Amino acid sequence: MLHSGMTDEQIAAFFLFALVAAITPGPSNVLLVATGAQVGILRGFACLLGIGAGMASMMFLAAYGLGSLLLAHPQVLIGARLAGTAFLLWLAWKIASAPPAPPEASAKPTGFIGAALLQWVNPKAWMVSAGAVATYLPAEEGNALLFTAVFVAAAFPSGLVWLAFGAATQKLLSDARRQRGFNIAMGLALAASVAMMWR
């Protein structure tokens, strides 16, 4: 038993949940693939850190009471999902219709702030945070920080996998036609991941 109020078994169960939630396809992972393909791992690292920070802040606030508030007022969660869905579908259109990217040296990736803010309009992030708190967080106080740390420990390497996957496609996207096809595929993937949140 840890002094935090979470047992080793609870931590292991939540870590497994967080790993599955973070590595499955979703808006953040589509963004990481697109960023990796555009600028590679090193220049895409700020995007990865932003996604981690945005999700960590949401998870911490959910564990600190926001999750209970959302679960007690489902209309607020539905409103957030509607707003997030509208934004992400707009982003999917922008990605799909984007012209071929400039060479890596002059490309401008999604940065830390933009990636962090994306989490707050990401329906999957809201659902994961609220669901995780309701299912895995013990009733005792003082668990919010540990809860967040466990999630980040699972989410960060998962996001790195997606960023590296995107970076690995760079050589395949050396001509404009392939880049355009990739952009369309990423836009469709983002739209599909948003649609799956409403099933």
Write out pLDDT tens, residues 20-68: 888 888 888 888 998 898 888 999 999 999 999 998 888 888 877 766 6
Mean pLDDT for the stretch of residues 74-96: 75
User: Who contacts 198 (Cβ-Cβ below 8 Å, separation ≥6)?
Assistant: 81, 85, 123
Evaluate if residue 1 carries a pLDDT over 50. no
- pTM for the model stands at 0.76
Evaluate if residue 14 carries a pLDDT over 80. yes
CA distances from 163 to 51, 72, 135, 137, 196 (A): 11, 36, 29, 29, 22
Would you call 103 exposed, middle or buried from its count of C-beta atoms within 10 A (0-12, 13-18, 19+)? exposed
pLDDT tens-digit series, residues 178-198: 878 887 888 888 777 767 666
pLDDT tens-digit series, residues 58-76: 888 887 776 666 666 677 6
User: Who contacts 84 (Cβ-Cβ below 8 Å, separation ≥6)?
Assistant: 120, 121, 122, 123, 126, 194
Phi, psi at residue 142, to the nearest 5°?
Answer: 90, 10
pLDDT at 42: 92
